[in-house]
Amino acid sequence: MAIVLFLMARLVRELEPDKRFTLVGTAVVVFIFRAIPGTGPGTTWWMIDQLKFDQQFLSILSLIGSTLTLAGMFVFRRFMAERSIAYVVGFLTVIGTILTLPIVSMFYGLHEWTARITGGVVDARFIALIDTALESPLGQISMIPMLAWIANSAPANLKATFFAVMASFTNLALSLSQLGTKYMNDIYVVSREVRDQAAGVIQTPADYSQLGSLLIAQLLLGLALPFAAILFAKVTRFKSA
């Protein structure tokens, strides 16, 4: 991070003051959005152990997510071109929060209620498939407007360097996200059953009692942190593009 920030400080000197502040504000908004911590592997463990999602079904969810992310970049290209980055991040935050609610609700039995009233049609797998299909197209959209702004505003002889440094900066946000996930898992401890196969003895019992609190805490952070960054860009001189 120190190296990347040093390079950014050197690069922004090449920009005019208004573009300099805009670049910093934009980078902060995108960085915070990508640094949101996740819930960790506990959610997947719970899906496997409690919802009975097998490896094949989880692979299908992953494939849907990857495919629709690429489609989303194409479908939302005009939306990204006509809106500010702060608007795009705010939109993605709200939609992402809404689409997280079904997973949180399933921990408290949503899928059992929907399966009961629909004759088993809308079960846990149905909800997970629909939720993944809706959420996936929004996955990587936040990065595109910032890189487009760099392509348009960076000096012609430094565009590649700007791209490389800003991509490194925003990728560090993913490392911060993983670190935040680790700390959240220290606060809300979720454990999967570990059994000694030879002796048939349970070494670590499964405990998903704190998973609901973990999901809710992650949802609230995912909503609050991006809007705090957007507010920073609105009230300071570091405006967002």
Dump pLDDT digits (tens) for 45-103: 999 999 889 888 888 888 887 787 777 777 777 777 778 888 888 888 898 889 889 99
What pLDDT, on the 0 to 100 scale, is given for residue 241? 66
What pLDDT, on the 0 to 100 scale, is given for residue 136? 63
Average pLDDT of the segment spanning 104-122: 90
pTM to 2 decimal places? 0.84
pLDDT at 181 over 80: yes
**Which pLDDT tens digit goes with each residue over 115-162?**
999 888 888 888 888 887 776 666 567 667 767 777 777 777 888 888
- CA-only gyration radius of the chain, Å: 21
What pLDDT, on the 0 to 100 scale, is given for residue 139? 59
Residue 89 lies in a domain: yes
CA 21 centroid distance within chain = 25
Q: What percent of the chain has pLDDT over 90?
A: 24
- The better pLDDT of the pair 81, 205 is held by 205
What pLDDT, on the 0 to 100 scale, is given for residue 140? 63
Residue 7 lies in a domain: no
What is each CA distance from 57 to 13, 53, 95, 138, in whole angstroms?
Answer: 50, 6, 24, 21
User: In this structure, are residues 20 and 12 in contact, taking their beta carbons and an 8 Å threshold?
Assistant: yes
Block residue for tokens 């990508």: 34
pLDDT at 182 over 90: yes
Residue 241 lies in a domain: no
What pLDDT, on the 0 to 100 scale, is given for residue 187? 94
User: In this structure, are residues 47 and 58 in contact, taking their beta carbons and an 8 Å threshold?
Assistant: yes
Residue 122 lies in a domain: yes
Residue 32 lies in a domain: yes
Residue 13 lies in a domain: no
- Domain tally for the chain? 1
Residue 126 lies in a domain: yes
- Return d(Cα 186, Cα 184) in angstroms, integer: 5
- Return d(Cα 121, Cα 127) in angstroms, integer: 10
Average pLDDT of the segment spanning 157-169: 84
Residue 163 lies in a domain: yes
CATH of the domain at 86: 1.20.1250.20
Instruction: Please give the residue range of the domain that contains residue 174.
Output: 18-235
Taking the alpha carbons at both ends of the chain, their separation in whole angstroms is 23
